[in-house]
Amino acid sequence: MTYQIEIEGVDKHYGAYHALRDVDVRIPTGQFVALVGPSGCGKSTLLRTIAGLETISEGRIRIAGRDVSSVPPRERDIAMVFQSYALYPHMTVAGNLMYSLRLKGMSRAQARARAEEIAAITGLSDLMHRYPRELSGGQRQRVAMGRAIVRSPAAFLFDEPLSNLDAALRVHMRSEIRKLHNRIGATSVYVTHDQIEAMTMADHVVVMRAGRIEQQGAPLELYDRPVNRFVAGFIGSPAMNFVEGLVTEDGRHVRLALPGEPALAFTGRRPPGEVVVVGLRPEHLTPVGGDQAGGNRLELPVALVERTGSASYVVSDTEPSILIAATERLAGLRDGMFAVAIDPACVHLFHSDTGLALDRMG
């Protein structure tokens, strides 16, 4: 496999503040990679170091095999879409699209033709003579996208390009961007704090926290096998439930710190008596009839039921409260007890101090 962007052991300091800590990411050619994490975790900083807008304190960055660690942005052959779009306000849409081509030394006529071509793809053909201030938010967003793809760069960098759009347009542009990527096939790094965006758009997701990479891999791999409690809680919506638990004598069950201390089976085994944090995804807790026996069951008092039509959310009246996401309507459920079952393979166990996912042998 050939790698288009290779980031090796990158550290970044802003004065005394350590913004990136030993970051390693390797992006195969043509992949769409999402960087996710909470606000302030260093996603934009990492993207800007790839672009060359920030210098790195330590480590190496290679683009298309060439070490660019100390190369200025203009020689890196990358295109960037800024969160604020950063359209040149004193140039028309055509001017914005042609700017980088003209800098590369392309003739006016050629640049014009190429800009028209891109405008047709992005649906901007009728707006070529407008100035950015005369465009709607969605149109500006498309100009920003167009300005990036017009160059056929070695890689695309996106810094939360959809965060200024309303919800409906965001969902629409999400699939547009992904379709565009499927067509052009250029390596892309996409920053977002919205894990749904990351999960739906990317081939490879990198989860960051406080300047560190917590886990990276295919979206469903992160969902199925989070390496720690942070990733488990960050990926997936609604978020995973966490409850303290105690591994039972046989090492195959865990007793939850909930009323009645129910025990749940999990796959594999852990040392008996170990204190752990149990992670249960709301959508893995499936409602079962109250009289049905057996299975990996949990009975919970109901505090609240929310129905959206396509899904129903049950909040348990416990401390901590457990959220259940069911696809049924659960008509008639109001209060009283509610029984759910879970597949032992879906019971996640984390170390109670470090939060690391626990290996389960045999």
Which H or E run includes 141? helix 137-149
β 32-36/188-191 pair status: parallel
Nearer to another protein, 51 or 213 (CB): 51
- Reported in sequence order, the residue ranges of 64-122 that DSSP labels E, i.e. its strands, are 66-67, 78-81
Q: And the tokens for 266? A: 């999990």
Rg (CA), the chain: 25
Give the integer Cα–Cα distance in Å for 196 and 77.
29
Q: Which of 46, 80, 199, 342 binds another protein (CB under 8 A)?
A: 80
Q: Whole-angstrom Cα distance, residue 246 to residue 7?
A: 41
Q: How far is the CB of 133 from another protein (least distance, A)?
A: 3
Nearer to ligand ATP, 37 or 236 (CB): 37
**How big is the chain, counted in residues?**
362
Residues that bind ligand ATP in the complex, under the rule CB under 6 A:
14, 17, 19, 37, 39-45, 193
Number of H helices, E strands in the chain: 8, 20
Element (H, E) at 173: helix 167-184
Q: Which does 313 bind (CB under 5 to 8 A by kind): ligand ATP, another protein, Mg ion, none?
A: none
3-state secondary structure of 184: helix
Among ligand ATP, another protein, Mg ion, none, residue 100 binds (CB under 5-8 Å by kind) = another protein
Closest CB to another protein among residues 54, 197: 54
Closest by alpha carbon to 117, among 151, 85, 89, 90? 151
Residues 26-85 that bind Mg ion (CB under 5 A): 44
Q: Residue 158 or 266: which CB sits closer to ligand ATP? A: 158
Cβ closer to another protein: 78 or 347?
78
Non-local (6+) Cβ contacts of 177 within 8 A are 145, 158, 161, 162, 190, 201
Q: Which is nearer to ligand ATP, 37 or 219 (CB)?
A: 37
Q: How far is the CB of 228 from another protein (least distance, A)?
A: 34
Closest contact distance (angstroms) between CB of 19 and ligand ATP is 4
Write the binding mask 124 to 153 for another protein: x where contact by CB under 8 A, - elsewhere. Answer: -------xxxxx-x--x------x---x--
Binding piece for another protein, criterion CB under 8 A, among 77-85, 180-188, 191-199, 248-256: 77-85
Q: Is 173 in the site for another protein (CB under 8 A)?
A: no
Burial bucket for residue 316 (CB in 10 Å: 0-12, 13-18, 19+): buried
Positions that interact with another protein (CB under 8 A): 51-53, 72-74, 76, 78-80, 82, 84-90, 99-100, 103-104, 131-135, 137, 140, 147, 151, 164
Binding positions for Mg ion, rule: CB under 5 A: 44
